[in-house]
Structures are given as C-alpha cells and as structure tokens.
Structure 1
Amino acid sequence: MELRHIRYFIAVAEELSFGRAAARLHIAQPPLSVQIKDLEKDLGVKLFDRTSRTTTLTHEGEVFLGEARQIVDQVGRARHAVHQVAAGALGRLCVGGIPYAFAEELPRIIPRFRRENPHVLLDLREVGTQDGLDAVRSGAVDIAFVREGDPVEGLEILPVRTCRFEVVVPLGHRLADAGTVDLRALAFEPFVVTARHISPYYFDQTLSLLANRGITPRTVIEASSIPAQLGYVACGMGVALVPESATSARVKYVSRVALEQSVWSTEVAAAWHGSSVPAILSRFLEVVREEFAGQR
C-alpha cells in the first residue's frame, strides 16, 4: 500500500464514481480501477460495491475511509511542519548566556523572539565565556552570549554591547571621592578580577590594561563573577576594573571612580557556528541585530 492508493481510494469514496474520481485525479479510469483493485487485494477486503450504475462503499470501505483521511491529514501536517522548520518558524533553539547577559541582553531579545515565533521551543542555559564557546563549537548550544575575546576559528562573533571600564574601590578608600583617576595611581593596590577560566577575555584585558600602564599587581584575587568582584571590593580586599554598567545600579559599600582615559570593553558578544546557520537561528539573529543596532 502506498500513499497514492489511499488518495485514489478517498477520491472514489467521495465521488462514488470512478469516472468522476478519475477526472478529479487527472488520470484515466482504467488505471484508477487497477489501483483500487490492488488496494483491495492488499487489504484482503472489498471496499466498494459496484454495479453498472452505482458505486457504494462497503462497511469495510466506510471504516477505511475514516482512517485514510486521518493518514492524509497527518501527511499534510508533517509536510507543513517540515516547511515551518525550513523557514525557522518551528523547532528548538538552545541559547547560552553568561550571567551578565541575563541582566540586559537576553531580557530584551527572548520575550520578543518568543512573541514573534510562538512555535519555537527555547532552551536557555547559563554558561561561562569559555564554556559557552566550547558549547557552540560542539553543537551543544546554537548561540552563546559571552565576553568577546580573541577570534575563535569557525565561530562568528557579533559584539552586542560595549561599555567603559571604571574603577571600583571600597568605601573610605583614599580614592573613593576622586572624580577621576589614572590607572597608575592604583599601581600598588591588590586587584580583584574574574577568574581566567571563567572569562579569559575579561581577565586578559584587565591585566593588559594594567601592563600598558607599567603596572604589575602585587596581588591578584580571582572571583567567580562581577558581582563576586564587587563583594570582594566591598570587603576591602582590593580594587577592581569593571564595566560601568555593572555598577549602574546602586551598589553598597563601594565607590565608583571614572578613568581619566576612557577604556572601552566588549561587555557581551553573540557567538555562533559560522559554517551553517539554520533558518531558526537566522530569525534569532535578526532580532539580536535589530535590538542592538547602532549601539557602541
């Protein structure tokens, strides 16, 4: 039994005429009769009672008609689903993000994408920068929002948000009330940074900025995240270079001081595999680009 047999049967059952069914199917009547006989032989039952004037369904034919319609409907739904997947309107998308991205970028992107693509299942995962890049390379996630670093072979990187660095010091620190500060004034301070295995780009950029000013920190304390960095600073363990957006909300027990010479950092970048971009990911990237178009 093939799908054509089912379609031919439905046409005859609905027309109750082999002639009209053949015209509807755009085939000759004799081949249609042969196909129906083959179907009956395959099923081992008679589907039609035929006379010289009439064609009627047998009881078995009536039962088979209901089942046949369901089969054709399911094939139609399957075809429609495949086309939706090809167009990016149906499927599953796995999105990774560093904790920082969950505070700004993802809340702008995800709700809009879900409204515009209600049949796409979104899987959100919290990742570190290195873990996120590794997950994209392995295919575990489709796109990850990470801190941008050195180019990664095979991956496309789109800077989403950049921000100026600023210095954060404990309350009561000698520079707490300074309007601006030169990095060289921090030469002998212990520095709190986000651990390199969590965010290589942020770690390397911080130490590179200090090295460019001739500073080698006497102590480097590694934290697990920017909020943890701020916590270490608040406890008086050192000072930190952090993006200004990280302290845009009121943070207790620390003071923010601007750098005399602005230093920009890529806060968040989107990374995805550049070799093949499925339609569903293309739709997601359109939202990302539109939401953050024109931002530094």
Structure 2
Amino acid sequence: MNIKQLEYFIAIAEEHQITAAAKRLHISQPPLSYELAKLEKELGCQLAVRGPRSVSLTEAGKVLYERALRIVALTQATEREVASVATGAGGSISLGVDPSCSGLMPADRLVDLHRRFPNVEFEVHEGPTPSILDLLDGGIVDIGVVRTPFKSDGLRCRFAETEPLVAVMPPALEVGEEASCTLEDLSGLPLIVSRRLVAELGKAFEVMGGDLRMTTVVDDPRTAALWARESMGCALVPRSLIRVTDTGDQFIKTLECRELESRAAVIWKAQHTPSDLYRTVIALLGDLS
C-alpha cells in the first residue's frame, strides 16, 4: 500500500464512480480499477462494491477512507515543511480552527505575518474542537484554535477570556429584556444550536425544569446564526461570532447563564518544541481577544 494508491482510493470514495474518479485524477479508468483491485488483494478484503452506476464503500472501505485522509494529509504536510526548510523558503504552518472561534481569529495580525514573511505557507483545517484535537494529535496540524470544554492533557494552552452565548432572535421569537435573556425566556422556543452545546444545554434545562426544544442541531455555529436570520428558530452562538456573521435585522441578546459560557484557546503539543516560526504565529494569535 502506497500514497498513490490511497489518493486513488480517496478519489473513488468521494466521487462514488470509477469513471468520475479517473477523470478527477486525469488518468484512464482501467489503471484505476487495477489499482483498486490490487489494494483489495493486498489488504485481503473488499473495500468497495461496484454497482452499474456507482461505487459504495464496505465497512472496511469506510475505515480505510478515514485513515487514508489522515495519512495523505500528514504526508503532504511533511513534504511541504521539509521542502520549505531545505530551500530556505521560510517554512509552513498548519492551523486547525474550530468555526466557533472565527470571530476571535486576529486576521489582521496573520495578514501582517504574511506580508512580512511572504514565503511562509499556511494551511487551515476547520472543524469542531474534537476533530481539531485529533488532527493535532496526528501531526496534521501544528497549532489549534479550539473552544472549551476539552481535555488539555499533553497540551500547552493559551486561553482567551470567558465569553457568554448570545441568542440570535428573529423578531417573531423575541423574548427577554432589551439586551439579555435567560434560559427561562427560551423555554419552548425552537432553538438552533451547535452539536457541542447539546449535552450542556440539556443539563441546564434539566436543572431549570424548562421546555427544551432543540429543533435544529448543526456542526458549525455560523450556520445556526444564518438559519436564525431566515427565521428558522432562535440560534445560540458564542458572542464573538457575531463580529463575522451577517445576522440581518435579528435581535442579539446575551444569554445570562454562566454554565454555558466558554473560552477559546490556542493549543499545541506540550512535548513539541516550537520553532521560531511557530512561536511567531502563537505570539500573533495572542490571547484571541
């Protein structure tokens, strides 16, 4: 099994067709079919089921697909870093960012870094905090920007200030005071929340004894805010996210609930000695304020 075979397999898994995958890879179909059969023979199991119009992955194929994504990403990151160091190009940095922290990313400082060091390459992976932690552990990202709660064992962390959630309310669903609201105010309202909030919000409503109606659960809190703009419900998002999200004419009210407050954090592996470039990026990220 080699990197090229994994890249071929990823294309097949994502295109769901040998023909479409071959077109994406700029090769003909027979060599691609041959490499898939060769890979299955080497691993001793069927990875994909060929249908008349599509290809679907077996359970073994799904496992290989997830691992292949990581292996290829790590290989590409390693190639870039080694090449940039060897040529004196300045290096490369891979960041993992939880979308809930988008409003705290100091874009102006990173832009300044790019201007001062134009040969530094950036790669950004976006995903929920658990995914970013996995990418950091696997060496695919160098620095993470995540949100509590998360396990910090083996990590160095620089935390931002605690911030509350805000409720993005369509006019028809407005409740609470002029600039704030409580869980009691939200009882019975259709709520749009990110997946990371589901458990904690459930606990808070259970303690309060209110009527929790999570009508929509999303991975990206920016989606929650945008859907609230379309009057699909009341969205609960970190306050800083409002800076980078167009919420239209919706009401924005601070949720008075300390149990649901959180902090963003810049993280990197404790055992990893940051290079000068890493330290520069960490310093520029600062306290995410």
Q: 1:274 to 1:109 in 2, by over 3 A?
A: farther
Q: Is the Cα–Cα contact under 8 Å of residues 148 and 268 in structure 1 kept in the other structure?
A: yes
Aligned equivalent of 1:111? 111
Preserved CA contact (<8 Å) 2:143 2:267: yes
Matched letter for residue 136 of structure 1 = L
Give 2:253's aligned residue. Answer: 257
Change in Cα spacing, 1:212 to 1:129, as seen in structure 2 (3 Å) is same
Which whole-Å CA distance do the structure 2 matches of 1:190 and 1:232 have between them?
12
Distance 1:217 1:138 in 2: 37
Q: Following TM superposition, by how much is the alpha carbon of 1:261 offset from its aligned partner in structure 2, in angstroms?
A: 5.7
Q: Which residue of 2 aligns with 1:213?
A: 208
The unaligned stretches of length 5 or more in structure 1 are 1-81
The answer for the alignment partner of 2:279 in structure 1 is 282
Residue 286 of structure 1 aligns with an amino acid whose one-letter code is: A
Q: Is the 8 A contact 2:169 2:234 kept in 1?
A: yes
Residue type of the alignment partner of 1:238: G
Structure 2 Cα separation of the partners of residues 108 and 212 of structure 1: 42
* Cα distance in structure 2, aligned partners of 1:241 and 1:209: 14
Partner of 2:136: 136
Which structure 2 residues correspond to residues 164-183 of structure 1 after superposition, within 5 A? 164-175=164-175, 178-183=178-183
How many angstroms does 1:145 deviate by? 1.3
Give distance in 1, aligned partners of 2:256 and 2:183.
Answer: 8
Based on CA coordinates, which of the two structures has the bigger radius of gyration? 1
Q: Which runs of 5+ in 2 are unaligned?
A: 1-81
User: Is this contact kept in 1: 2:194–2:220, CA < 8 A?
Assistant: yes
Cα distance in structure 2, aligned partners of 1:267 and 1:137: 21
Instruction: Report the alpha carbon displacement of residue 127 of structure 1 after superposing the two structures with TM.
Output: 3.0
Q: TM-score, normalised by structure 2?
A: 0.58
Is the contact between residue 157 and residue 272 of structure 1 (CA under 8 Å) also seen in structure 2? yes
Question: After TM superposition, where is structure 1 displaced by more than 6 Å over at least 4 residues in a row?
Answer: none
- For this pair of structures, how many residues does the alignment match? 204
**Structure 1 residue 174 displacement after superposition:** 4.7
User: Given that residues 133 and 271 in structure 1 are in contact (C-alpha distance below 8 angstroms), is that contact kept between their aligned partners in structure 2?
Assistant: no
Q: Residues of 1 paired with 2:233 and 2:112: CA distance?
A: 40
- Give distance in 2, aligned partners of 1:176 and 1:216: 16
- TM norm structure 1: 0.57
